[in-house]
Amino acid sequence: MIEIKNLTKKFGRLTALDHVNLQLNKGECIALIGPNGCGKTTLIKSILGMVLPEKGDIIFKGKNIKQDIAYKHQIGYMPQIGRYPENMKIGQVIDLIKNIRNSQEATDTTLYEQYFLDAMLDKKMRTLSGGTTQKVSATLAFMFRPEVLILDEPTAGLDPVAAEILKAKINEAKNSGSLILITSHLLSELEDMVTQVIFMQEGKLIFHKSVTELKSDTGKSTIAKSIVHLLKSEEV
């Protein structure tokens, strides 16, 4: 569904992405793992067109994303740190996005209801806690039933109840055939969700494997243990 070819991005002397090639398919739930500053967020932002890479192409459903921005209709994005116009109220932000998306389908309001956002519509974004901001981000990401979900540290900052609600929602989206790209440092949390793992280091793609393959290669029972094993053995 998404094909990434030879993607390279430099920030000054720092190489954030170094000739990354990836093939992301429908129905997969892919964990994007790697140490801080390894280029995960840059990769995600490149797919979203927020960061413009120097070299390489991203092909979304056979179309180069440089040519047409319509592909963003099919993406729901939840940023690591949601930054919203400070003076806007929650209700206004949601209205604005609904307006822009202009979607004919009925919106998905399960998260909106489960997070009780309707009781806070008049709160300004500036006054929200980090967790509440994340709830707004999550609601917006799932609202338009996108075929691709890009979640950057989705559960960081959420309380356990809210995190459980979100995980249930992610699983539901996975079962309905969406492609889900998720980054997280809480490897144990990813355990029961993901089907594939992408491991990056210093802007380079180290491997892209299915979970079963990863476990059998390292002989460990969980993703967390496999990754730690790989990092320690330095075979990567």
Partner 1 sequence: MRILKYVVLDILKNKIVIVYAIMLALFSWSAFSLEDNATKGLLTVLNIILLTVPLVSVLFATIYVYNSNEFIELLVSHPVKRSVIWKALFFGMSLSMVVSFIVGVGIPLLIFADTGTALMMIVSGSLLSVIFVAVAFLSGILSRDKAKGIGVSIMLWLYFALLFDGLVLFLFFQFADYPIEKPVVLLSALSPIDLCRILILLRMNISAMMGHTGAIFKDIFGSNLGIILSFMLLALWVIVPFLISLIKFRKKDL
Among 14, 70, 121, 186, binds partner 1 (CB under 8 A): 70
Among 60, 77, 112, 199, binds partner 1 (CB under 8 A): 77
d(CA 9, CA 124): 36
Residue 170 CB, nearest distance to partner 1 (Å)? Answer: 18
The answer to whether the CB of 145 falls within 8 A of the CB of 123 is: no
By rule CB under 8 A, what count of residues binds partner 1? 27
Q: Which stretch binds partner 1 (CB under 8 A): 63-71, 127-135, 176-184, 211-219?
A: 63-71
Asked if residue 85 binds partner 1 (CB under 8 A), the reply is yes
Which stretches does DSSP call E strand in the chain? 2-11, 14-24, 29-33, 55-60, 63-64, 75-78, 148-152, 179-183, 196-201, 204-210
What type of residue is 64? N
Residue 96 CB, nearest distance to partner 1 (Å)? Answer: 6
Residue with tokens 């994007």: 32
Could you give the count of Cα atoms lying within 13 Å of 66 in the half-sphere of its Cβ? 8
Asked if residue 69 binds partner 1 (CB under 8 A), the reply is yes
Residue 79 CB, nearest distance to partner 1 (Å)? Answer: 7
Binding mask 108-127 for partner 1 (x = CB under 8 A): --------------------
Among 87, 104, 221, 233, binds partner 1 (CB under 8 A): 87
Binding mask 43-62 for partner 1 (x = CB under 8 A): --x--xxxxx----------
Residue with tokens 């490897």: 187
C-beta closer to partner 1: residue 203 or 227: 203
Q: CB within 8 A of 126, min separation 6: which ones?
A: 86, 87
7, 154, 162, 229 from 34: Cα distances, Å: 17, 16, 25, 14
Binding site for partner 1 (CB under 8 A): 11, 45, 48-52, 69-73, 75, 77, 79, 83-88, 93, 96-97, 99-101
